[in-house]
Structure 1
Amino acid sequence: MRFLINKLFKLISGYFLVYFFIAQLYFFLANLPLLINIIRTSKDTFFPLFHSANHYDYNMYLSVITQGAKGLWLAQDPYTSEITNPSLFYFFYILIGKMAALFNLPSYIAYHIIRIISTELFIMLLYVMNKTVLGVKIGFWASLFGIIATISPVFLFNQTGAFETFFLWWGGYEALKRLDNMPHYLFSFACLFLIITLLVKYLNSKSVKYFLISLPIIFLSGIILPPSILPILLTIPAACYYLFMLNTRDRKRIIFSSNDLLAFLILISVTLSPLLLIWRENYNGFPWDTWNKWEIATWNLNEPNFNRALVLLFGFLPVLSIPAIIKIIKSRDFTNIFIIFWALMPYLFLPFVNLLGFSKMRLVSSSPFTPFAMIAAYSLFGTEFFVKKRFLQITTLTFFLLYSFYISGMQLYLQLKNEVVSPMYTSIFIPNTSWYGIYFLAKTAPKNSIVLSNEFIGSLIPAYSFTKTYFAHSVHTKDFQIKQGLVAKFYSNHMPEKEAYNFIKNNNINYIYYGPDEMSLGDPPLSYTFLEKAYENKDVTVFKVKNNI
């Protein structure tokens, strides 16, 4: 205990306190849109605490949390009526579900508790890693840059209206958006920082305990978010190969011992194991076999501006990094060379994504702002180019800080402006009458009952009840477009009775949710004779399919 207390006090310095305060301020600002929507929520609506995650994906995460709370250890597809195989995908949210069950928490509350914890771990372990790799002073600036560094000026992306009228993928890498990320991303990045810290300690001290501790963390992080360990799998071998080629060219001795090489082989093997487990899920049937194909089609084939945006994504950090990169490649320091390869990974491996079998987006899902921030800080405070030119150093630092604050401030202003004036959409602020219908299903519907509804309510129902819906999610619903037409025809009241009955029975549908969205598809009320009312309020009726027909 005394050892842990001493470590904590060593961490808490003036540098750390300044960094921690600014990081917490950014985290607070990142959550202002969420707080505004909480304030806007009226007494007759329910706000499920939507944040930066896509609403449908957010509901998917909550659905898996609900499954975990109800006893499942592998995720099942909640948005299709067909029988599907369970999957390791979303395992992080299964674990959150176990916590939710332990403390009797609703899925959305458990989600945000873990989101806060994951963010704080991200903030703390970012500082610990940078201090370990770069020392106290440069580590402080690297950590600060890692939090506040932002994207290039928006006009350079040549997509007029971004942030104001629409939101594009690269906007999610703005500083405040990075801190408003989904919890499995932030937790996995925190794990990556801890892994790198442990490996650097191993290299410096040759103490095997650091190496051994890193192995289960690598496995866990790889299961939760496979791209988070790509820097271990791709850039450690790249850095080793680079140093080997330099030494071969200059006829210098190999700088790694046989024990080091054995450790790296074990490291790569352990890193591969969770990736292979997750890759196996691509052959686990629908919907798990569709995700990677969908990502490759979306980002590798159908996003023509991706490469341009990737070049601009990291703002001024790559330019600031140039003096440090020149110095590091001359020094042959393995740790710093690894950091360079980590930063450049999205560019170096971009031509090979189709060969490797994953999407371009996965290359930027490994916290690449972090290594660029480390190298930029090293440039400003560890190279003669800036250290001996005090005026240039201060001017560059001042410009970088002011630019970062300005871009983040403008992005936040535009988002808050939109939040304040946006209508009270019922897809965001759920009417209590709709929520009561969902609550009824949560309390009374048997496990894995299949519920028919329109798209959005269909995404909400499994998030709060241990049920499945026939139609809800463009990726997780099998034959989404066909089902969309069938749902519209059923709710239109124009489907013949026999056809409607066969439709319900053939898809094993147990309940029909009939609220405002469903009523808008036809002329209410539903007139099918095989339905009986199970719940009703002024806006919503939940029907149960009769068993005696």
Structure 2
Amino acid sequence: MSKLKIILAIALTSTLIVFLNLYPHWHAYLQTPDGFVFSKQATWFDPWDINVYVAAIRWGQYQGFLMENMYDSQSNQAIVYYPLYTATGLLLPKIEPFLLFYFLSIVSTILLVSVITIGANKFIKEEKAIILAPLITALAGGWGFLTYPYIFSLDSSMTSFTFHSAFQRPHEGLALAAYLASFICFYKYLKNKQLRCLVGSFFSLTLTLIFYPYYLVSFFAIFFFYLLFSKKKINYTQITAFIGLNILGTTVALLMQNNLSRNESFSGVVSQQLENPTVLSLFSGFGLFLIPIFYYLLSFNKLKEKELFLIIWIGVDMALAFSPVGYARFFLRGAFFPASVLMILIIKKVSLKVFPDQFSTGFLVLLISTLTITSMTNLSIFAQRLLEAETTNSWYYLPNNEYQALEFIQEEIPHSSVILASYHFGNLLPAHSNQKVFFGHLIQTPNAEEKQQQLINYYSQTLLPEESYQFLLNNKINYIYYGEQENEIFEQLNLEDEEATLLIDNQPFVKKIFENQTSKIFQFLPDIKPL
């Protein structure tokens, strides 16, 4: 296989993916409506998570490599958390964090596309597919473009199912590249017994486990079942290497788990409980890729070694996705790589059978047709991100008054102060101002539901002055933000009381330090007790 063609495939695919990922941000910036300011992102999947990652970069710029939970008002121990982002902030302290985040996404995209391209080439070995194989994999999706928003389909509704999220989030892209590389390298080691493949698998797996320790489970299970069903004779050395690799991987996973356990504030992230996918949503998410999956499953006893390995990879990922753990759905991350390779292998078989005299033409036509159909979900997400720029989506645009308050907080309030705000503004604050918040993320904030209710109680004025004072004091809150969304909480719970007035302006233990047409900022004065 020509190295030049591989480099060309990587360059073309990376360029397209970077464009699909980053252009909507630029487009949204250009379309900023009057009276609003661009929030610096135009994201489809979970914009609130992007703010968490950017906040980690900003933390690195001000505080260093070890990170505290900025979405918790209580003091917590700094640990290794989002090391890619904090290290980037530490090394580049003067550059806008959002720009650094997007730069990292370009680098991780090129790396992930390189692994996809080289890895696919190891299994397919068909020169005619070298350009289209990485495109089919990178843009792979199912029927989500047809069913959204009426039927839940994983490719359009679940973060990390397709490669879209990995190209958007640098740490995920880096970890997924390492994850795929660990599988490819160890499979090659079992095939050719080359030490460099074993070493490559170890380092790739180690890097993966730094970000996602639970992927040791899928690595062990996939290779366990492959070794169990493989017709190829496996010697003692290879078995020892497999066991040793998993022991070393377990050590890395336990070290990372111990690191996370040192800061209970991140317990919500470690113990998050997400719903398992349904069979219907899974099948809809894979879409056209169900054809090779079912074909190879039904032909299980007749498969070649590479086909056996790839179908076991997918089968184990699917099984683990229904396991009774809160993060089970994430075991599907990267499953479109083996699914895409199997798709191309079956297209090759069909082309040889149906177009024996015009194989090249038939093979190319089927590949292009497959790419067209399976990329529709990712392309529809791209289109939706562009269309959303025509609205005043609160994750795209901030009202001028709200942005003025954000600027005041960044420029006038000491860094790492704790600010009370509603969910939306609380989510923005750490990313834009290097401040900590009482509540701002449903997973990152510990005991999020309880804190959300406490926040509602405070802004709705159901607390007595003494209770408000104790709430602010106990949660170490330094400043209170009061904007349109905070006012909505007050109004919704006081609709029947026409004489209800905002009491915060008259409380002696808070002092107003900023005000414009819609936003106010108060400083909590703990030394002044309520009357």
1:237 equivalent in alignment to 2:224: yes
Contact 2:155 2:162 in 1 (8 A): no
Contact 1:454 1:487 in 2 (8 A): yes
The aligned amino acid for 2:471 is F
Shift of 1:373: 0.8
Contact 1:138 1:377 in 2 (8 A): no
Shift of 1:201: 5.1
Equivalent residue, structure 1, for 2:493: none
Contact 2:152 2:281 in 1 (8 A): no
Work out the CA distance in 2 between the residues paired with 1:432 and 1:107: 21
Shift of 1:361: 0.6
Shift of 1:323: 5.9
Equivalent residue, structure 2, for 1:169: 157
The aligned amino acid for 1:69 is Q
Aligned residue runs from structure 1 range 408-487, under 5 A:
408-417=378-387, 419-422=388-391, 424-487=392-455
1:116 pairs with 79, 98, 106, which one? 106
Aligned residue runs from structure 1 range 12-31, under 5 A:
12-13=4-5, 16-17=7-8, 20-31=11-22
Work out the CA distance in 1 between the residues paired with 2:175 and 2:248: 16
1:311 equivalent in alignment to 2:283: yes
1:51 pairs with 43, 46, 54, which one? 43
Shift of 1:85: 4.4
1:320 equivalent in alignment to 2:312: no
Shift of 1:537: 4.6
**In structure 2, do the counterparts of structure 1 residues 20 and 404 end up closer, same or farther at CA, with 3 Å as the change threshold?**
farther
1:217 pairs with 200, 204, 207, which one? 204
Aligned residue runs from structure 1 range 122-521, under 5 A:
122-137=112-127, 140=130, 141-152=132-143, 160=150, 169-170=157-158, 173=161, 177-178=164-165, 180-200=167-187, 202-203=189-190, 206-226=193-213, 230-243=217-230, 255-280=233-258, 286-291=264-269, 293-295=271-273, 298-300=274-276, 306-320=278-292, 330=302, 333=305, 335-350=306-321, 353-354=323-324, 357-365=325-333, 367-381=334-348, 383=349, 385-390=350-355, 394=363, 396-397=366-367, 399-417=369-387, 419-422=388-391, 424-492=392-460, 495-521=463-489
Contact 2:72 2:438 in 1 (8 A): yes
Work out the CA distance in 2 between the residues paired with 1:46 and 1:413: 19
**In structure 2, do the counterparts of structure 1 residues 19 and 273 end up closer, same or farther at CA, with 3 Å as the change threshold?**
same
**In structure 2, do the counterparts of structure 1 residues 81 and 34 end up closer, same or farther at CA, with 3 Å as the change threshold?**
same
The aligned amino acid for 1:374 is V
SS in 2 for 1:526: helix
Contact 1:81 1:507 in 2 (8 A): yes
Shift of 1:196: 3.7
Contact 1:132 1:200 in 2 (8 A): no
Identify unmatched segments of 5+ residues in structure 1: 1-8, 248-254
Work out the CA distance in 1 between the residues paired with 2:427 and 2:478: 17
1:528 equivalent in alignment to 2:507: yes
Work out the CA distance in 2 between the residues paired with 1:404 and 1:287: 40
Work out the CA distance in 2 between the residues paired with 1:494 and 1:347: 48
Contact 2:37 2:400 in 1 (8 A): yes
The aligned amino acid for 1:81 is S
TM-score normalised to structure 1 length: 0.80
Work out the CA distance in 2 between the residues paired with 1:193 and 1:533: 54
The aligned amino acid for 1:527 is N
**In structure 2, do the counterparts of structure 1 residues 208 and 181 end up closer, same or farther at CA, with 3 Å as the change threshold?**
same
Shift of 1:370: 0.4
1:70 equivalent in alignment to 2:62: yes
CA offsets, 1:231-285, max 9 Å, x none?
4222112111112xx57xxxxxxx2233222222222223323333444567556
Shift of 1:123: 1.2
CA offsets, 1:274-304, max 9 Å, x none?
3334445675564433345432xx313xx6x
Aligned length: 510
CA offsets, 1:20-57, max 9 Å, x none?
42553344234443333121225751422142341322
Shift of 1:371: 0.5
Shift of 1:133: 3.5
SS in 2 for 1:263: helix
Contact 1:189 1:228 in 2 (8 A): no
Deviates more, 1:182-191 or 1:340-349: 340-349
Identify unmatched segments of 5+ residues in structure 2: 491-500
Shift of 1:407: 5.0
Contact 2:210 2:252 in 1 (8 A): yes
Shift of 1:19: 6.2
Contact 1:122 1:189 in 2 (8 A): yes
Shift of 1:114: 0.8
The aligned amino acid for 2:399 is P
Shift of 1:230: 4.9
**In structure 2, do the counterparts of structure 1 residues 530 and 289 end up closer, same or farther at CA, with 3 Å as the change threshold?**
closer
CA offsets, 1:114-173, max 9 Å, x none?
112111211122111222333252762532321233203655x6962769xx99624874
CA offsets, 1:170-190, max 9 Å, x none?
487467x35653222211111
**In structure 2, do the counterparts of structure 1 residues 390 and 170 end up closer, same or farther at CA, with 3 Å as the change threshold?**
farther
Matched-pair identity in %: 18
The aligned amino acid for 1:38 is Y
Equivalent residue, structure 1, for 2:497: none
Work out the CA distance in 2 between the residues paired with 1:286 and 1:517: 30
Equivalent residue, structure 2, for 1:3: none
CA offsets, 1:302-337, max 9 Å, x none?
x6xx2221123222223135666678854653x543
Work out the CA distance in 1 between the residues paired with 2:424 and 2:165: 26
Contact 2:142 2:285 in 1 (8 A): yes
